[in-house]
Chains A and B, each alone.
Chain A
Amino acid sequence: MRKIPVIIDCDPGHDDAIALIIALGSDMLDVRAVTTCAGNQTPDKTLNNALRVLSFIEKRPVVAQGALVPIMRELMIAPEVHGESGLDGPELPPPAFAPSSKNADEIMHDILSHASEKITLIPTGPLTNIGILLSAHPEIKDKIERIILMGGAAVGGNWTPGAEFNILVDPEAADIVFKSGVPIVMCGLDVTHKAMIFKDETEKFRQIGNKTGKLVAELLDFFDLFHRKEGFGFAGAPLHDPCAVAYAIDPSLFTSKDYYVEIETKGLHTLGATVVDFKNKKGLAHNATVVLDLDREKFIDLMYRAVKNLV
């Protein structure tokens, strides 16, 4: 069975960590590299977190650090959600291996230029690294199968009323990505707020009996805390980043529709908004598949099977 070659760009982050675990545990994906960006925490912390998680699950893909700050804005981080380390909750030993001496842009460019087949990019953090890659090396666009990103929201926002966190942190990078012409699948809040996990399901991960299952449960225990905020009205915790990885593994779990999507880079209340032209008012060609719904139970099951495959 041909595995799908992917590069994951992430800012672990609890849900990024779980997404990484699913990707490495899945039979369907060939993770060629893991690149890190700044967002949920500072760049050194997100790099360290990626290395610690991969070490723990005993996988050693190439890991490379990307941009330290967004393209033109000051970095905004989310310790309220992910804690001081960016992965507060579980006890994780230090990394067992070192990252590449090359940076994320070089690694991604190397892999894409030399690959004999197209590669899927799965960004689960702010789009800084992808934006830089597409700007600096436009010729490799043809080597990208598609970009399945966790980010945005056709309706609403989670960090501000108008925007989802990843796009808000680097709206200019998002703008570059959405205007690039590379096929995009946008797993935004529209679907991720439906990808809820509930406490009894978290228990099932713990009960798998392997150490990865225990790690996932502990990550979820901590991640759940932020989402108990009254304003959200959530009964569980939304599994944002795992949606993007799950889409790569099995798109049939999801419902989506193609639209023209633009990024607001100048608004005061709408900075970072992903504006979806639902009614085709602009008459422009669709540039993104916007994911709107999923089979939640099958999604949780997909995650469960991937975790069982690991140590």
Chain B
Amino acid sequence: MKVPVIIDCDTGVDDAVALICALASDRLDIRAITTVAGNQTLDKTSVNTLNLVDFLGSRVRVSKGADKPLNRELVTAARVHGSCGLGGVELPKSRQDFYHKNAVETIAEEALAAKGELQIIAVGPLTNIAQAILAYPSLKGSIKRITLMGGSIDGGNHTPAAEFNIYVDPEAAQVVMNSGIPIVMVGLEVTEKAYLTREEIMELSLWHAKDDRNIAIKALLENMLEICIMFGYKGAVMHDPLALCHVLDESLIKTKAMNIQVETQGEITRGKTVADRYRVTDRKPNALVGLEIDRIRFVELVKELLNKYSN
């Protein structure tokens, strides 16, 4: 049985790699891809997503979402993803158009249709998800799980306290965390360990491929590698692909149930995902927080998915 999912993203270099992996998997029934502002402006993340989906030969609907956070000015990550949002990689213009419904409507529509089985894989700021939950409270009962790439219980990447996605829209994240919908938080504790080394990337069958598709995938991976090495990591850090892969294989990440609250008032700690590690409050756990990963098996899964494009 394929898992019905909506992928919400702000493509984004690692979002792109996550989408490439998702579209290669035969275990997912991708009902739609919804876009949000984050790594870049909504226009750019949306066009990147639309172009990528078409480029990979898929007909999955792409639906545009929020162009700014619930309550804040948009902060983007041009330093990491470039001014176009794809690290300088250019894709041909999509022959398809966006789905006529917006992200919130699409999420509501698909949740109803999937009769409680719909899962959301959210790899950008959580604006769309929060808006959907706020506009359609009955969604709380019909979304099976939200697997989100975001947050960090130890320390941040965008600021010392916060990871980027949650920093961009802390109010949305707080709505999602406290919504009652089962959540898996794939945060920096695990994503920073989910890297592919240069050697591992070079072992991919696409490395020597000559077709446009594989050349573009290779360019994205090389871009990730360059930026990540510059930041001091051991390889290309696959934040978003890890969240996607967890849906395909839950044994990849060891999680612990914790209560997470998102800081929306602090200035220094804006966007911090505060974990009640010691159960000092009586708040019940509201998320499964990723703590450890099996990097080798994660790398195998990513390779398996990416290699499908050269078969």
Contact = CB atoms under 8 A, between A and B. Distances in A.
Interface string A270-281: 110101111101
Given A160-B280, A270-B266, 8 more contacts: A154-B155, A231-B279, A268-B263, A269-B263, A269-B266, A275-B269, A281-B158, A282-B160
B261 A269 contact: yes
Interface stretch (A120-128, A142-150, A259-267): A259-267
A275 B160 contact: yes
A177 to B, nearest CB: 16
A159 B281 CA distance: 9
A275 B154 contact: no
A156 B128 CA distance: 29
Contact of B265 (A266, A278, A282): A266
B267 A266 contact: yes
Interface string A86-120: 00000000000000000000000000000000000
Interface in B253-311: 259, 261-269, 272, 274-281
Contacts of B264: 268
3 shortest interchain CB distances as A-B pairs: A267-B266, A231-B279, A270-B269
Contacts of B160: 262, 275-279, 281-282
B279 to A, nearest CB: 3
A125 B279 CA distance: 23
Interface in A235-275: 262-264, 266-271, 273, 275
Interface of A: 154-162, 229-233, 262-264, 266-271, 273, 275-279, 281-282
Contacts of A279: 155, 157, 160
B263 A162 contact: yes
B161 A161 contact: no
A75 to B, nearest CB: 19
A157 B212 CA distance: 51
For chain B, give the interface size range. 20 to 34
B280 A155 contact: no
B96 interface: no
Given A162-B269, A268-B264, A230 B280 contact: no
B138 interface: no
B266 A264 contact: yes
A160 to B, nearest CB: 6
A159 B265 CA distance: 19
Contacts of A262: 160, 268
B265 to A, nearest CB: 5
A232 B278 contact: yes
A266 B268 CA distance: 9
Contacts, number: 93
A230 B280 CA distance: 10
A213 B200 CA distance: 60
A273 B160 CA distance: 12
Interface string B230-266: 0000000000000000000000000000010111111
Contacts of B58: none
A155 to B, nearest CB: 5
A281 B164 CA distance: 13
A281 B281 CA distance: 31
B279 A158 contact: no
Given A264-B268, A264-B269, A268-B265, A275 B278 contact: no
Which residue among A158, A264, A270, A281 has the maximum number of chain B CB atoms within 10 Å of its CB? A270
B159 interface: yes
B155 A276 contact: yes
Contacts of B263: 162, 267-270
A163 to B, nearest CB: 9
Given A155-B154, A281-B159, A281-B160, A161 B269 contact: no
A203 B279 CA distance: 30
Nearest to B267: A266
A161 B268 contact: no
B280 A273 contact: no
Nearest to A163: B274
Nearest to A260: B160
Which residue among B156, B263, B267, B278 has the maximum number of chain A CB atoms within 10 Å of its CB? B278
Contacts of B275: 156, 161
B281 to A, nearest CB: 7
B47 to A, nearest CB: 30
Contacts of A232: 278
Given A269-B261, A276-B160, A161 B277 contact: yes
Interface in B154-184: 154-161
B281 A156 contact: no
A231 B275 CA distance: 13
A160 B156 CA distance: 19
Nearest to A277: B160
A161 B154 contact: no
B269 A273 contact: yes
Nearest to A267: B266
Nearest to A232: B278
Which residue among B155, B259, B267 has the maximum number of chain A CB atoms within 10 Å of its CB? B155
A269 B266 CA distance: 8
Contact of B280 (A231, A276, A281): A231
Contact of B161 (A158, A229, A266, A270): A270
B280 A157 contact: yes
